[in-house]
Amino acid sequence: MNRSTLVGHIFKKKSVLCVGLDTDLSKIPTHLLEDEDPAFAFNKAIIDATKDFTVAYKINTAFYEAQGLKGWVTMEKTLNYIPKDIFTIADAKRGDIGNTSEQYARTFFQTYPYDSVTVAPYMGADSVKPFLQFDGKWTIVLGLTSNAGSADFQLQQCGDELLYQKVLRTVASWGTPENIMFVIGATRKEQLQEVRQLLPEHFFLVPGVGAQGGDVHTVCSNAFNKDGGVLINISRGILFAGNDTSFAEKAHVEARKYQQEMAVFF
């Protein structure tokens, strides 16, 4: 999906909501465990309940890979079920030497035709650039995360800037705002402002809203640009809003609530 198409969907729905499909079998309603494919039954119901309010779905591949071959099948079925006008993200956090990254890119852009994949930039340009060779596909690079361990490396001084600032500035030069996004945590108001000044045109995938303490107003008021420019990911707050037979209806309510909070910024 190219940028203009994504932006068009954002403004049509007045939403920057990304629903994270971090489907944990130990947390889904117990009645679904009787299904032949419980995770897919859950995902299907969540997608049906939230698709009117979301512009992206993020499939966290770890929750599927952990189930072995069956999990990969569930992931593929889920990806195929997502409406074609909704942006898809493989949250796989890949990144390795060039020829390995080429295979990872083929995996998530061809074998499983996602619109985007998350990538770790620690190994440098040759680990990221293979992902940038696919037209209409996006590489979402880890920039500034909201976990406690981010201080171990990201917030360390690197010359006259912090390491995450160097990563953002350097990686941005390898592609364009048409094919690179960055993961930027939602819990730091001042850093959201600073990162937006550093990268005025790029899209940010923003985790940390809801369970991790971030909020929609802080993200939108500090990181929006003329195209919206953010995808705010909500996982647990929507997926597990209910744990009985009404789980999908409760997910619908939560997704609508988030979309209405976002709509005031359009």
pLDDT confidence of residue 247? 96
**Three-class DSSP category at 59:** strand
pLDDT confidence of residue 181? 98
pLDDT tens sequence across 137-175: 999 999 999 888 988 999 899 999 999 999 999 999 999
Written as one letter, the residue type at 232 is: I
pLDDT tens sequence across 67-78: 999 999 999 999
Of 175, 177, 153, the closest CA to residue 165 belongs to 153
Does 79 have pLDDT greater than 70?
yes
Cβ partners under 8 Å of residue 2, min gap 6: 136, 178
191 pLDDT band, cuts 50/70/90, is confident
CA distance 15 to 10: 5
Q: Which domains does the chain have, with CATH numbers?
A: 3-263 (3.20.20.70)
CA distance 190 to 194: 6
Average pLDDT, the chain: 95
Ramachandran class of 245: left when φ > 0, alpha when ψ lies in -120 to 50, beta otherwise: alpha
**Whether 195 contacts 184, CB under 8 Å:** yes
pLDDT confidence of residue 40? 98
**What is the arithmetic mean of pLDDT over 195-216?**
88
pLDDT tens sequence across 95-147: 999 899 999 999 999 999 999 999 999 999 999 999 999 999 999 999 999 88
CA distance 186 to 209: 6
Residues with a known catalytic role: 93
10 pLDDT band, cuts 50/70/90, is very high
189 pLDDT band, cuts 50/70/90, is confident
Burial class of residue 239 (count of CB atoms within 10 Å of its CB; 0-12, 13-18, 19+): buried
Q: Tokens 């969907």, residue? A: 9
Does 33 have pLDDT greater than 90?
yes
Q: Residue 122's CB: how many other CB atoms inside 10 A? A: 12
211 pLDDT band, cuts 50/70/90, is low
